[in-house]
Amino acid sequence: MNKRVYGVLGISSIMANWNADFSGYPKTTSDGRIFGSDKAFKYPMKKMWENEGKKVLYIKSMRFLEDEKKGTIQLIPRTLRERYDYIFNEGKESEIKDSTVVLKNLFSAIDVKNFGATFAEAGNNISITGAVQIGQGFNEYEDSEAHEQSILSPFRDPTAKEKSKKGQDVEGEDAKNSTLGTKIVSDEAHYFYPFSINPMAYNEFVKLGVTDGYTGDDYQLFKKASLSAATSFATNAKSGCENEFALYVETENDTYLPNLTEYVEFSKGEEGGKNKIRITCGETLNTLKNRIFSIEIYYNTYTTEIITPVVLEGAKYFDILTQKEV
């Protein structure tokens, strides 16, 4: 691919939890600002690729571990080496002393081709800086609040009676009742992620003959997943999280753009009205129009209105759900 790509990817979270910390609450910075990590965005993309039958290396998968002495069978996550053998050698343990073979295998995985990899197994110490770099996504809706919901379990807590005896806050009768769980969600949040694609990141590996580099087909696979993976990934916590915005700016290889999330602002629409996403990089991009191949903006036309104080010359607009031009 003979071009760079810069852009912004937007996620809406309505009564959902896009990216929780270890306490279960939405991740925040030290000053309380809500954000989502790049891993939160990459994971649904990897699941989407995996569901489509593509090779994905860096994703959790499980196997059974049988302990003959204890007579038990446990379900445990695969190690990196086990995952490598699972997808490249049909589950059979292989020799991986030949780094050429390892590199060719790694680049055949769609997640490695996009996001890079660190592979340190059996004498191989391989680091691949990904052509695609996704930053941290900050919530731009100032009135976002977290809510904790109590959930009734259909099962009794067998330890409740013992807790009560030890003076813990469990009444005797509660030992016979169902346990309570919690679910923590944001009432509403709107995350905006910066990203960039540098196809020249793999030039050294192309010279080594282990990959054909980052191609236009690789970019199209990334683009497809980045437009719909969050919407398609409907787990319990992520149900309510959707792709709502995307900006793609394709430029010449020697053109360098700043973090475009700094030029994207979100404001809540009036009651019954559409939300507004304001794009303020028009003047900057128009100045560089001779070095820009295309500008594409995808958004949810049912919920969102795009505002450009300075018109983006040559920009095309698409409905993010149908991906048809509007």
Q: What angle do CA 210, 219, 248 make, to 5 degrees?
A: 145
Specify the residue for token string 């038990």. 72
Q: What is the pLDDT of residues 60-84, one digit of tens each?
A: 999 999 888 888 999 999 999 999 9
Decide if 325 is inside a domain.
no
Q: What is the pLDDT of residues 279-301, one digit of tens each?
A: 999 999 999 999 999 999 999 99
Is there a contact between 96 and 122 (Cβ–Cβ < 8 Å)? yes
Please tell me the predicted confidence (pLDDT) of residue 257: 96
Please tell me the predicted confidence (pLDDT) of residue 300: 95
- The yes-or-no verdict on residue 180 having pLDDT over 80 is no
pTM: 0.90
Residue range of the domain that includes 288: 4-143+184-319
Residues with Cβ within 8 Å of residue 262, at least 6 apart in sequence: none
One domain, residues 152 and 283: no
Identify which has the larger pLDDT, 173 or 179. 179
One domain, residues 225 and 109: yes
Specify the residue for token string 């069978």. 73
Please tell me the predicted confidence (pLDDT) of residue 286: 96
- The yes-or-no verdict on residue 173 having pLDDT over 80 is no
Q: What is the pLDDT of residues 203-261, one digit of tens each?
A: 999 999 999 999 999 999 999 999 999 998 866 657 889 999 999 999 999 999 999 99
Decide if 324 is inside a domain.
no
One domain, residues 133 and 246: yes
The whole-number average pLDDT for the span 1-5 is 96
Q: How far is the C-alpha of 311 from the C-alpha of 129, rounded, in Å?
A: 35
One domain, residues 179 and 294: no
One domain, residues 178 and 69: no
Please tell me the predicted confidence (pLDDT) of residue 161: 58
- The yes-or-no verdict on residue 163 having pLDDT over 60 is no
Q: Worst-scoring range by mean pLDDT, 92-101, 120-129, 168-177? A: 168-177
Please tell me the predicted confidence (pLDDT) of residue 168: 53
Count of domains in the chain?
Answer: 2
Please tell me the predicted confidence (pLDDT) of residue 166: 53
The whole-number average pLDDT for the span 99-106 is 94
CA atoms lying within 13 Å on the CB side of residue 24: 9
One domain, residues 91 and 153: no
The token pair that represents 207 in the structure block: 């010279």
Decide if 48 is inside a domain.
yes
